[in-house]
Amino acid sequence: MFDGATEINIQLKAVHSSGHVYKIEGNEADAAGSSIVITLHEPIHVALEAATSQASIKENEYVAITHNTADTVNSGPVLGIMPTAATVSYYCWVQRRGTCMSLTDNTTLVQGNAFVASTSVAGGVAPLIAGSTVSKARSQLGYVMAVAASSEYSMVSLQLD
């Protein structure tokens, strides 16, 4: 299942509980569909019942992040803007809120208006277009603070948190 699950969380829900989220310390690697043993960082808060309790496992959303591509494919939620380039398998810092610089795609941003991930320039931002049917272009990321020319960096206010 998850071999060396260090960036994985598990949600456990007993029948009369809203559920609790626990960080996984480790587990035995095993094939999908089989039983495994999971070790948690902390003890379970609410007793589980074998017949009715439920478990959901979710990998940390910041593990294996992807670069926004120049197309309309929505590969998941935008996690933030990186101030510098990062190569595969390296840790990086991703800004989620506040003032930062972001690559302007081939459209004109308008100061004070909302912006979204670009569908034409990889890693870029574009103006939010009302009524857009492209899912990637509907997720507002923040507001434009200062406009730069196309293919330059505009100052934006990220509001992802």
The two structure tokens encoding residue 160: 């992802």
Structure confidence at residue 129 (pLDDT): 81
Residue 120, phi-psi category: left (phi > 0), alpha (psi -120 to 50), beta (remainder): alpha
Q: Are residues 43 and 111 in the same domain?
A: no
Residue 30 maps to a domain:
yes
pLDDT one-digit tens code per residue, 66-117: 777 777 676 777 888 888 877 777 778 889 999 999 999 877 899 999 998 8
Annotate 20-74 with DSSP letters as a single string: EEEEEEEE----TTS---EEESS--SS---TTT-EEEEEE-TTTT--PPPSSS--
* 145 belongs to a structural domain: yes
What would the pLDDT profile of 126-144 be if each residue is shown by its tens digit?
A: 898 877 765 555 688 999 9
Distance CA 6, CA 2 (A): 9
Tokens of 98: 């506040």
- For the segment 11-45, what is each residue's pLDDT rounded down to a tens digit? 777 666 677 888 888 777 666 777 778 888 888 88
Vertex 41, ends 39 and 47: CA angle to 5°?
75
Q: What is the DSSP letter of 40?
A: E
Mark whether 106 and 147 lie in a shared domain.
yes
Q: 146: how many CB neighbours lie within 10 A of its CB?
A: 12
122 within some domain:
yes
- For 138, the domain range is 65-161
Helix or strand (DSSP H, E) at 156:
strand 153-159
Number of domains forming the structure of the chain: 2
What phi and psi, each to the nearest 5 degrees, are found at residue 88? Answer: -55, 145
Both 30 and 82 in one domain: the answer is: no
